[in-house]
Amino acid sequence: MHSTQIDEVISAEFPNPEVDPVLSDIVKKNMIHGPCGNFNMNSPCMKDGRCSKKYPRQLIKETQTGDDGYPKYRRRSPEDGGCTAKINFRGKEIEIDNKWVVPYSPPLSKMFHAHINVEYCKSVKSIKYICKYIHKGSDMAVFSLKKAKEDDEVSNYQLGRYISSNEAVWRVLSFPIHERHPTVVHLSVHLENGQRGRTSREKMLKQLLLNHPGQP
């Protein structure tokens, strides 16, 4: 897939507010990561002083496809024609550029007015990304246990399974938890003359009689 084709589907930039003010507002409200780093070192994404999601991203003029299957999306700087946006963060108005934009699909963002991260994946490793969510299990909740009128310095935390009433009814009625289309069919791959065969005692006796007629 050519980089220009990726740009037709996925964007990682602020839209021009004069050209598309609706999409510009949607991106500012829903498709900005953080900000973290120097703006907020206590952000949940910060691990060992760095953003675990690799933000802020590098500003580049054109989309570049990588060998690992994940491209570097076009994120133009203001000098190259990229747009900036002003957002309210912790009671202050700050100006940010395309370094903080989460990749999105303009038609989907306009349709749902929500956070929808869209990525281009061409590597065989992407199957792990697709399957891991449906195999994560039920939602989990972390809660603390404390005795009444007792303030311990160390609180005991327990990891528990949480099932809502909606999910309970869904499982009781045996509705499908997930689906795939098209359905995956396992193919028996083998070398020449190495295919597996199945037989029974009756079939073996019939075959012996056919191969050796007239013998007792």
pLDDT tens digits, 7-55? 999 999 999 999 999 999 999 999 999 899 989 998 999 999 999 999 9
Q: Is residue 13, in this structure, part of any structural domain at all?
A: yes
Structure tokens at 103: 């990749």
Q: Which two tokens stand for residue 59?
A: 């500003």
CA distance 137 to 102: 26
Q: Is 213 helix (H, G, I), strand (E, B) or coil?
A: coil
In a domain, 90, yes or no: yes
User: What pLDDT score was predicted for residue 150?
Assistant: 62
Residue 169: inside a domain: no
Query: What is the per-residue pLDDT for 188?
Result: 79
Looking at residue 95, what is its pLDDT? 93
User: Which domain does 12 fall in, by range?
Assistant: 3-122
Domain-embedded: residue 9: yes
User: Of 146, 141, 144, 133, whose CA–CA distance to 180 is shortest?
Assistant: 133
61 assigned to some structural domain: yes
- The torsion region of residue 37 among left (phi > 0), alpha (psi -120 to 50) and beta comes to left
Position 168 in a domain? no
Q: How far apart are CA 103 and CA 120, in angstroms?
A: 9
Confidence category of residue 185, pLDDT binned at 50, 70, 90 = confident
CB-based contact 36:51 (threshold 8 Å): yes
CA distance 61 to 82: 9
Q: Looking at the 3D structure of the chain, how many domains does it have?
A: 1
Which pLDDT score is estimated for 65? 84
Which among 90, 94, 112, 121 is positioned nearest to 31, based on CA atoms? 112
Whether 155 is covered by a domain: the verdict is no
Residue type at 22?
A: V
Q: What is the pLDDT of residue 47?
A: 92
Under a CB-based contact definition with an 8 Å cutoff, are residues 14 and 77 in contact?
no
Does some domain include residue 29?
A: yes
